[in-house]
Amino acid sequence: MPEPVRIAFVITELEFGGAERCLTNLAIGIDRTRFAPMVCSLAPRPAEGKDSLVRQLEAASVPVHFLNLRSSMSFFSGLAKLKRLLRQHETEVVQTFLFHANVIGALAAKSAGVSRIVSGVRVADPARWRMVLERFALRRTDHIVCVSQSVAEQVASKGGFPRSKLRVIPNGIDLTSTPIGTAVDRTQLGIAPERRILLCVGRLHRQKGFDWLLRLAPELLSRLPKHDLVIAGDGPERKSLRELATRLGIQNRVHFVGWRPDVPQWMQEAEILLLPSRWEGMPNVLIEAMGRGLPVVASSVEGVKEVLGPLAEEQAVPVGDTSAFVAAVCRVANDSHHRQILGNENRERIQAEFSLNEMIPRYEELYD
């Protein structure tokens, strides 16, 4: 039997997020008789409490390395560190995830003589400077994995890459996992037990559209007097979003609960997941929520209609359409029977199209 192919998964960081979860599932689930995985994070190890993915990798005997890069000033030292690590590992295939890892990973892998380089573009980021840098680096790659057809179209049209180089592999989730731990303690967060929850999960960044959501929230919450909005996540807009909620007079109905390790429990508490993003690639939180039987209302950004499929008509609205978003949320929130039907249909959709059993073999085929 031939030796397993030595493959390095390179990512910008390993805190809990969609790309990070995808890498972890892939590194753990890949066929060990055919592949010997190693994971490398450009950033330092996450703080305790935010390192659950690292611990999962270590428990599965996947070696994890941290280059401890902390700023763009570390670019050249990071390049040298990664090149050295790839040579020590005798890496045969490199798979990169996220912008910074795509750039440094492709350059280091080419310099280290890695025989096959695969990059991953996960977000249709509108920033032109990012596209220019990625285009420069990814000329060295053999394949570019895009998480949705929408992202592939942008990479082809704006990035100028040949379509023959692109592969669309949607995210998959582990449908066998169940939430662990105790139920959410609402009272510690100032949420009365009888309040009904509209849930948002994501980094507090302009991309996720939370500022837009807050501006429509006064109308939405006035029409849904028994509901509160819970926003789980952290990021650079945390302070400005809190201030906006206060200016709008909705601070008692909007709860910023910070980064949470218990998002699955919050999904069990919630009635609807809201996704107000301005741009995406294929939002993993949407797949997670649907897989747990939650109805959703989402902006029709990249990847959303591909995840929802025929269920998009009721659960996706045009980006920035305030009236349509509010109407869709109210329609779902006010009909418990319809909510249950949508939730069941969402779960069935994810089981059929977005499981790890669908995702991992497609990556393995590409690496072969």
Q: Distance between CA 359 and CA 116 in Å, rounded?
A: 20
* Interior angle at CA 175, CA 205 and CA 36, nearest 5: 85
Residue 329 has pLDDT above 60, yes or no: yes
Question: Do residues 100 and 13 touch, judged by C-beta distance below 8 A?
Answer: no
Residues 28-47 pLDDT 10s: 999 999 999 999 999 999 99
Residues 288-298 pLDDT 10s: 999 999 999 99
Domains annotated on the chain, with CATH? 5-169 (3.40.50.2000), 187-353 (3.40.50.2000)
Residue 104 has pLDDT above 70, yes or no: yes
Q: Distance between CA 230 and CA 35 in Å, rounded?
A: 41
Residue 180 has pLDDT above 90, yes or no: no
Residue 124 has pLDDT above 80, yes or no: no
Please tell me the chain's helix, strand, coil percentages from 3-state DSSP, rounded to the nearest 5.
Answer: 45, 15, 35
Q: Distance between CA 358 and CA 350 in Å, rounded?
A: 10
Give 277's pLDDT tier (boundaries 50, 70, 90): very high
Query: Tell me, what's the pLDDT at 228?
Result: 97
The enclosing H or E element of 198 equals strand 196-201
Query: Tell me, what's the pLDDT at 53?
Result: 94
Residue 189 has pLDDT above 90, yes or no: no
Give 273's pLDDT tier (boundaries 50, 70, 90): very high
Query: Tell me, what's the pLDDT at 333?
Result: 97
114-123, 153-162, 192-201, 221-230: which range is least confident on average? 153-162
